[in-house]
Amino acid sequence: MDGDLKDRWISIESAAEYLDVKVVTIRDWIKKDTGIPAHKIGKQWKFKLSELDEWVKSGKSAIE
Each residue's pLDDT tens digit, 3-62: 576 688 999 999 999 999 999 999 999 999 899 999 999 999 999 999 999 999 988 777
pLDDT score recorded for residue 55: 94
pLDDT score recorded for residue 15: 97
Is the pLDDT at 2 greater than 90? The verdict is no
Contact between residue 18 and residue 53 where contact means Cβ atoms under 8 Å apart: no
pLDDT score recorded for residue 47: 97
SS (H, E, C) the chain: CCCCHHHCEEEHHHHHHHHCCCHHHHHHHHHCCCCCCCEEECCEEEEEHHHHHHHHHCCCCCCC
